[in-house]
Amino acid sequence: MDKTDKIWLDGKLVDWDDANVHILTHTLHYGLGAFEGIRAYRRTDGRTHIFRLREHIRRLFDSCKIATLPMPYTIDQIVDACVETVRVNKLPSCYIRPLAFLGDGMMGLYALSNPTRVSITAWNWGSYLGEEGMKNGIRAKFSSFTRSHVNTNMVKAKLVGQYVNSILAKREVMAAGYDEALMLDPQGFVAEASGENIFMVRDGVLMTPNIGSSMLNGLTRDAILTIAADLGIEVFETRFTRDELYIADEVFLTGTAAEVTPVREVDDRTIGDGVPGPVTKRLQAAFFDIVAGSHPGYEEWRTYVEF
Ligand code: PPE
């Protein structure tokens, strides 16, 4: 990845090369930490905005609360720090990674007195699942690893250690030649992908697992549900099985990094005609027009950065 100039660390902007931590940083050993992924986009009018910034930071604070990680800042302070990090690095479009982690002090699990530390890094990040995949769709496969039971991992929190499950799934299917791992919940229903939420379309109806499922409550998922409803597309939030995906007309994934990525194959079965379908293309086009085009609506989703 390309270095940028500054990283926000514990309230100060420091040089990229100086944003280091001690080896006894608690989160490195035990995984109690929370993070976010946020994108800044340059629109056709030349202005840069951060997409759904406050909602991402709210989720970061929610994750910390779930993880019993005290936050030494306010939501406003972290929102402002994200804007500042994008501004000083002069990044017209980028990915922003806030991370709240437990610093060094005590070892052992309890470590209640260790300080919570926060970093914010921004860098250029293109299409997460590739330009080709964004245009023509990716090949997905269900991993043999199951998404955690809702009382094993805290599925509404974006916690550092919980990503081991996603990494194992992703590495497993990529080693087998696929682009992305899909995951079932402990009951066998479709949960999400390793780092994205999942949608399917059958007979023009859009479906995605409901909030109670073993999945992250994605903000891109929420944006797509809102946009779909506004476009008059019928939407159902419900649980479904892997074979319902096999016979879907269209499947796509949503996430900050992956944006709206079509899926052309699931478990070696071609989805629909093997190309992105009309509903996927319509939602993908609407999404990119809202974030990076000239769509005037959804202004409440934008926090502008003045350079
Ligand atoms: N599920 C998971 C497990 C997940 O990690 C993400 C985001 C989502 C759903 C979608 O959430 P949202 O970004 O709010 O729409 N995954 C982040 C991590 C990517 C990475 O590899 O790092 C992301 O997209 O930023």
Model pLDDT for residues 255-289, shown as the tens digit of each residue: 999 999 999 999 999 999 999 999 999 999 999 99
194 pLDDT tier (thresholds 50, 70, 90): very high
pLDDT of residue 290: 98
Say how many Å lie between the CA of residue 263 and the centre of ligand 1.
Answer: 17
85 in any annotated domain: yes
Does any ligand 1 atom lie closer than 6 A to the CB of residue 195?
Answer: yes
Asked whether residue 99 falls in the same domain as residue 139, the answer is no
Does any ligand 1 atom lie closer than 6 A to the CB of residue 154?
Answer: no
99 pLDDT tier (thresholds 50, 70, 90): very high
Domain containing 67 equals 6-123
Asked whether residue 110 falls in the same domain as residue 216, the answer is no
- Count the domains in the chain: 2
Asked whether residue 98 falls in the same domain as residue 150, the answer is no
Active site residues: 158
pLDDT of residue 126 exceeding 90: no
What share of the chain in percent tops pLDDT 90? 98
Asked whether residue 276 falls in the same domain as residue 216, the answer is yes
Does any ligand 1 atom lie closer than 6 A to the CB of residue 233?
Answer: no
In the chain, at which residue ranges do the beta strands (DSSP E only) sit? 6-9, 12-15, 33-35, 38-42, 48-51, 94-102, 116-123, 138-142, 180-184, 190-193, 197-202, 205-208, 235-237, 250-255, 259-266, 269-270, 302-305
Say how many Å lie between the CA of residue 227 and the centre of ligand 1.
Answer: 19
For the chain, give the mean pLDDT: 97
pLDDT of residue 1: 84
Does any ligand 1 atom lie closer than 6 A to the CB of residue 256?
Answer: yes
